[in-house]
Amino acid sequence: MGKRIVQISLLWLFALQAQASIFGNNSNQPLDVEQAFVMSGGQTGADSVELVWTVAEGYYLYQERIEFELAEGIQIDSREDSQTDTKDDPLFGKVEVFHNLAQVSLKLGRVDDSAPAVSTLKVTYQGCWEGGICYPPVTKNVDLVDLALLNPTQKSAAAELDPEPIVLQSTDSKSAAVESAPLSEQDLFAQTLSNASLLTLLAVFFVAGLALSLTPCVFPMIPILSGIIAGQGHRVNTRKGLVLSVIYVLAMAVTYTIAGVIAGLFGANLQAALQEPWVIGVFSLIFVALALSMFGLYDLQFPSAFQTWLTRGSDRQRGGTYAGVAIMGFLSALIVGPCMAAPLAGALIYIGQTGDPLLGGMALFVMSLGMGVPLILIGTSAAKVMPRAGAWMESVKAGFGVMLLLMAIWMLDRVVPTEVSMLLSALVLIVSSIYMGVFNSNYEGVHGWAKLFRGLGVALLVYGVALLLGLLSGGKSFIYPLQSFAGSGGVAAQSSDKLNFVKITTNAELDRQLAVAKRNGQPVMLDYYADWCVSCAELDYVTFADTQVQQSLQSVQLIKVDVTANDAESKQLSQRYQVLGPPTLQLINSAGEWRKDLTLVGVPQPEELLNNLQRL
C-alpha cells in the first residue's frame, strides 16, 4: 500500500513539474511566418524568375505547396527547384521539403499575343515548425514587367533585364495568424501534445481533466448519477455505487473521446449536432419520466425479455442494467454537458493539424477520466450514506426526483424562452417546499434531521418566490432574479447588460461589422455563442459582469457570433477563426489583424480578459 502511495505521489509531482515547464517557459515559441520563411528575389529577365526562401533552423517548407498563378496568356514553360529532403510529415505523409534554403527558378512564355506587357506573379507557399505548428498558406505578389519581349516562338531569346529589387507584398491576412507573441492556452496544449512524452502528456491531461471537473461540463451530471444510485433503493451498497459510478464515467469518457476525434478529424461537432430542439425535448422527457419514477408513481425497467437478453448473467438492477447506466453516461456526455475549454480545444487542434487520432484520442480519454473523478467519489459516497429503509429513503428519492425535474427544465432553457424556464422552476421549488412541510405549523416531535429537512424547504420556497417575483418584474436571470429591484447601485450593476453586442449569424454580416470597426479604428471582440452552450451564460455573469471589464470594453466593437444553428453558415463562421466550439473569445486589433495568441476558450476570469485587452 505504501509503495502504491509513493508511486501515485511521484506521478503527481511529475505532472506538476511538466505543467510548470510547459507554462513557465515561453522562450521556445514559433517565429512569425515572415521570420520563419524569408522570401527574396524576383524577375531576373523578361522570361525568367528566381525566388529564394531562407528557412529558419527548426522549420521546413513544403515543395508541393509552393504554387504559382499567372495572368491569362502567360505560362510557366519550366521550373527548377533546389535540392529537397524527404520527410515523413504527420499532416501530408512522405513529402519533399526544403530545409535552410529553397530556390525555385521559372521560365516564362506567352501563350498568345493577348498576354499583358505588365502583370503579377502570385506566389503561394506553406511551411511548418518542427515544434508542431503548421502555418496557413501565405500568398505574395511579384511584379512582372517587359512581358511584351516574350513571343510564342522564341521564348528563350528574350533580352535580359538588369535585376532590380522586387517589392513583395503579402495579400493574405492569414499569414500573420501565427505570431511571435506568447501562444494562447489551447495552442500551448496542442504544442504539449507534439513535444511531450507519452507519460507527461497523459499526466498533464489528467490534471487538466480534474480542473475541468469544476466547470459546467461536469456539474449537470452529478444529479443524474446520484439519481441513478438513489433509484437502486435499499439494494445499493458502497461496492455497487462504485461500480455504477465507474461505468457511468467510462461511458462518458469514451463518448467525449469519440466525439472529440470526429470533431478533430472531420470538423464535425457531434455534441453541437445533438443540440437540436427535438433532441433536447426528448431527453428532458426522459428526465421527467425518471423523476416521476423517483416519486413512486411507477417503476421504470426494460421489458423482461429484453432485460434477460441484455444482462445475461449480470446483476439485474431496478430501473435498468449496467448497460443502461452506460447508455445514460453516453447520452449525458453528448447532450447534457457540451462545453469547450482550453485543454479540450488543444487536443482537438492537435488532432486536426496532425491527423493522429490515436494520440489525441488517448489525451481526450485520460482528460475525461480526470473529469470523472469527482463523479466517482460522489457516486460512491452517495451509496454509502443512502438510507437503507423507511420514510427517509423515500424522502431522499423524492429529493432526487426534484433534482431531475430541475435538470429537465435546465435543458429546456436552451430551446424555450427564459421566462418559461423561470416559471417552471419557481413552480417546482414552491411545490417541493410545501411537500417538505414549510407551512406545517406543528413542530411537536420535529427534531434533528427533520428540522434540517424543513429548513431546506424554506430555502427552496424563498428562491422559488424570488424567481417568480423576478419573472413578474421582467427579470431573466436565474442567478440575479431580483436585479430589477436593486437599482443602479445594486446587483443590476453587476450584470452584463451595459455591454452592447451586435449579434450576427452570417459571414456577410461579420464582414460588414469588421469593415466598420476598421474604418473607425476600433478593436473588435468576437464572442462565439450558442443557445445550447452550457458555459455561455456563465460568461455573462462571471467575466462580462466585472466592472473593470465593462469599462475596458467601452471602446471595443463587441460582436456576438451566434452559432446556435450549427448549419453550414455557422461552421464557416467557426472555421474562419479556427473556433472549435463556444464559448470562445477572439480579439482583432484596430488595424483589422486577428490576434490568435489572445484567444480565450471557455469562461476566463476577468483578469485574463483584461490582460489580453491590454496586450491588444
Q: What is the largest CA-CA distance in the chain?
A: 113
pLDDT of residue 158: 36
Please, are residues 457 and 437 in contact by the beta-carbon 8 Å criterion? yes
* pLDDT reported for residue 578: 78
The pLDDT of 181-195, averaged and rounded, is 56
- Residue 159 reports pLDDT greater than 80: no
pLDDT at 6: 36
Report which of 481, 476, 499, 501 is spatially closest to residue 491, judged by C-alpha positions: 481
Q: What pTM value is reported for the model?
A: 0.45
183 three-state secondary structure: coil
Helices (H), ranges, 507-603: 507-519, 536-542, 547-552, 568-576
User: How far lies 384's CA from each of 235, 379, 402, in Å?
Assistant: 11, 9, 21
Categorize the per-residue pLDDT at 67 as very low, low, confident or very high, splitting at 50, 70 and 90. very high
- pLDDT of 66 > 90? The answer is yes
C-alpha cell, 108: 516564362
pLDDT at 534: 63
Mean pLDDT of 149-168: 42
161 vs 569, more confident: 569
28-48 pLDDT, tens digit per residue, is 567 888 889 988 888 877 778
Q: What is the mean pLDDT of residues 330-347?
A: 61
Span 534-555, mean pLDDT? 84
> Residue 607 — very low, low, confident or very high, per pLDDT cuts 50/70/90?
very high
- Candidate from 15-29, 46-60, 336-350, 528-542 with smallest mean pLDDT: 15-29
Decide if pLDDT at 568 tops 70: yes
- More confident: 200 or 390: 200
Answer yes or no: is pLDDT of 599 > 70: yes
Q: What's the rounded mean pLDDT across residues 374-391?
A: 65
| Residue 90 binned pLDDT confidence (cut-offs 50, 70, 90) | low
**Would you say residue 316 has pLDDT above 50?**
no
Rounded to whole angstroms, the Cα distance separating 433 from 439 reads 8
Q: What pLDDT was estimated at residue 239?
A: 79
Q: Does residue 61 register a pLDDT over 90?
A: yes
Q: Is the pLDDT of residue 483 over 80?
A: no
Confidence check: pLDDT of 5 > 50: no
Residue 159 and residue 586: Cα distance in Å, rounded? 52
What percent of the chain shows pLDDT beyond 90?
13
Share the mean pLDDT of the chain: 73
**Looking at the predicted structure, is the pLDDT value of residue 327 above 50?**
yes
CA 600 to chain CA mean position, Å: 10
Q: Where does residue 195 rank: exposed (0-12), middle (13-18), buried (19+ CB within 10 A)?
A: middle
Report d(CA 186, CA 191) in Å as an integer: 9
Q: How far apart are CA 444 and CA 105, in angstroms?
A: 98
Residues paired with residue 585 on neighbouring β-strands, in sequence order:
527, 600
Which of 326-340, 347-361, 363-377, 415-429 shows the highest mean pLDDT?
Answer: 415-429
Q: Cβ(602)–Cβ(215) under 8 Å?
A: yes
**Predicted local confidence at residue 157, as pLDDT:** 37
pLDDT given for residue 549 in this prediction: 92
Residue 319 pLDDT: 40
CB contact set of 162 (below 8 Å; sequence gap of 6+) = none
Residue 466's pLDDT band (cuts 50, 70, 90): very high
Q: Could you tell me the domains of the chain?
A: 35-177 (2.60.40.1250), 186-390 (no CATH), 502-615 (3.40.30.10)
Between 33 and 527, whose confidence is greater?
527
Work out the pLDDT band at 414, boundaries 50, 70, 90: confident
> What pLDDT is recorded for position 559?
94
One DSSP character per residue, 453-487 reads HHHHHHHHHHHHHHHHHHHHTT---SSSTTGGGS-
How much is the pLDDT for 462? 93
Residues in the chain: 616
Which residues, in sequence order, are CB contacts of 458 under 8 Å at separation 6+? 433, 438
* pLDDT for the residue numbered 191: 60
What's the pLDDT score for residue 353?
54
Residue 217 has a pLDDT of 57
Q: Grade residue 3 by pLDDT with cuts at 50, 70 and 90.
A: very low
Query: Does an H or E element contain 254, and which?
Result: helix 238-266
Q: Give yes or no for residue 2 having a pLDDT over 50.
A: no
Secondary-structure breakdown of the chain: helix, strand, coil percentages, each rounded to the nearest 5: 50, 15, 35
Question: What's the rounded mean pLDDT across residues 263-279?
Answer: 60
Which is higher by pLDDT, 514 or 10?
A: 514
- Which span out of 190-204, 404-418, 591-605 was modeled with the highest average pLDDT? 591-605
Give the per-residue pLDDT at 197. Answer: 67
pLDDT classification of 393: cutoffs 50, 70, 90: low
Rounded mean pLDDT of 265-283? 64
pLDDT at 385: 54
Confidence category of residue 81, pLDDT binned at 50, 70, 90: very high
